[in-house]
A and B are shown apart, each in its own frame.
Chain A
Amino acid sequence: MNRRTGVLVGLVVVLVVGGILAVYFSTGPGDPEDPTQEAPEEELILFYPSRDGRELVPVSRTPESMPETREDVPETVVDMLKQVPEDEELVAVVPEEMSLRSSFFEDSIVWLDFNDGIIGAAEGSAGEYVLLYSVVNSVLANLDPSFQMVFFLVEGEHRNTIGPYGEDSGHIAINVPLGPRWDERP
């Protein structure tokens, strides 16, 4: 084998290996660009606060219709969170008037755009905490683990808090993406 042939063979090997790796990673389970993947098949996991507000408890529930793609997951989850849980030790905290306008996915972040029903939907630190993180946990638990954070928008815009007396009157900042509150991914 002369030197030119050696270089050629090396190039072919690099291209083949590179191609295989590219195909593997482009279709891998963590690909946030693929909207058809990862829709749950039978049940959704929802996080409800305990009655004393100390814990967010995961519960498996079957929705009336399963989301077909991951794009449908957040809306289904938010609607289900409004329903009263069967376990009397858990409470529903997402009010009827709070609804999701749209959601989109970017890198490891899920963007949730709510209507203004989210403003003032909770009072106090504990109230905001259980409201926001029950949504964060429930949405992320039903998506691919590559999605790590939730970014809230209100009526399509960034807002500092969900405080009812102006965005500088609430408690928890929603101008940053929120990560989940669980000890272990369910």
Chain B
Amino acid sequence: MRRFGVLVLFLSFFLSLTVMIPGGVQADNPVSLIDQEGELLTNLRVFDGGEGPWIDIGSYLRSLGFSLEWDPLMERLVARNGDREVRLQTDSDRHYVNGKVRRLPVEPKRTDDRMFYPASEVDEVVSPGGDVTVHWNAGLRQIQLVDTNRQSEGTTREDPLGDIIDQRPELDAEEMLVVIDPGHGGRDPGAVGTSGLREKEVVLEISLRLRDQLEQNPDIKVHMTRTGDEFIPLDQRARQANRLDADLFVSLHANSVPVGSTSNASGFEVYTLSYESGDATDEQAAERAETENSVLWQYEGMDREEVDEDLAFIIDQLHVSANARNSQQFANMLAEGLDERTDVPNRGHRQAPFYVLNRAQMPAVLFEVGFLSNREEELRLQTDEYQQTIITTVAEMLERYRRDLY
């Protein structure tokens, strides 16, 4: 009897452990993958990795038509579909699409011989292709494939990513895809001027006019993060550009000083992302960038299979640096370009860890076109003349940047 009691105790302990341990794979309560017609494609096995369900990303990719290969040495899942190749690595936010590195917001995890990824972020991994995009519905625990052509027929846009053709359009080698991001919108008016001009309205007006002007340039394609008065969270603005694999992200804003201060700030300025690093000076950062640049060129164009993982990691970091350098180059071009065309004070180029720029995986700038907190500038920002000067400058600098780049 005593031996039986010990056995029961042991079994109870073991069972309680299986219930208590978080992070297990759950066969029940799966996430459904729904096609464009609303039909169930498959139920995806789920892992409790925290922050909502994590799906079996291999099964997900297979359902989208990808063939799978597991590389045990590199702990890497390789998925291929036609000429598209995606590589996902366990516990690494580096992610390769057709050999080009991208940063994932979350690192995939591997358990029970399967790789898992958060359902809420699955649209970051790879697009289904064509005009189909992915929508995560947390309430229904469904990943829905959405035909963007069909959705755009008079439906209300609920998901700000919903009407994007979720793939880089076919571009010629010398063509460039630019994402224009009018700041704020919807419930977020942005800064409000002394006479009531709202930032969200004036930057949208300038952005739409800029888009129209850029459409005259056959080598520059444009995507707008918003074309109406909509609130779009900051990370989704950059995500739109990432999903399109854009070449440049330009966020347009109007400036202000702290509430209640006696500042008389005026002028335009351009910001790029800074990687905060304590006391490093601009000179030290520039010196480091120069060294990195020379190293990067040695490996430019080399097949990633030819280099080991550590070196691949270093090269990826250098690509991040290259994006930073291109961002700074374009920021300086913008500031100098507008300086040549107007008497408005040029506040130059500054760096800070901007949330919207931090998620962009391409060169990115935030252009503050003037101060709404300054009465004179608020009036100027509403004039056709100053708006046109801004638009002409941005359009010309984009063309110059494109020519420098290609």
Contact = CB atoms under 8 A, between A and B. Distances in A.
A in complex with B: yes
Interface of A: 49, 51-54, 91-93, 95, 108, 120-127, 129-131, 145, 148-149, 160-161, 163, 165-166, 168-173, 175-180, 183, 185
B278 A123 contact: no
7 contacts: A49-B261, A121-B258, A123-B259, A124-B368, A169-B234, A171-B355, A179-B280
B271 interface: yes
A63 B308 CA distance: 57
Contacts of B279: 145, 148, 179-180, 185
Given A163-B188, A168-B355, A173-B355, A126 B259 contact: no
Contacts of B258: 93, 95, 121-123, 127, 130-131
B191 interface: yes
B354 A52 contact: no
A126 B257 contact: yes
Contacts of B260: 95
A127 B256 contact: yes
Nearest to B273: A173
Contact of A170 (B231, B271, B345, B355): B355
A185 B276 CA distance: 16
B181 interface: no
Interface of B: 184, 187-188, 190-192, 199, 231, 233-235, 253-266, 269, 271, 276-281, 345, 347, 350, 352-356, 358, 366, 368, 371-373
A125 B354 contact: yes
For the complex of A and B, the 8 pairs showing the least CB-CB separation, nearest first, are: A124-B256, A148-B278, A168-B233, A53-B265, A165-B188, A123-B256, A173-B355, A93-B258
B310 to A, nearest CB: 25
A53 B263 contact: yes
Contact of A161 (B280, B347, B350, B355): B355
A126 B270 CA distance: 10
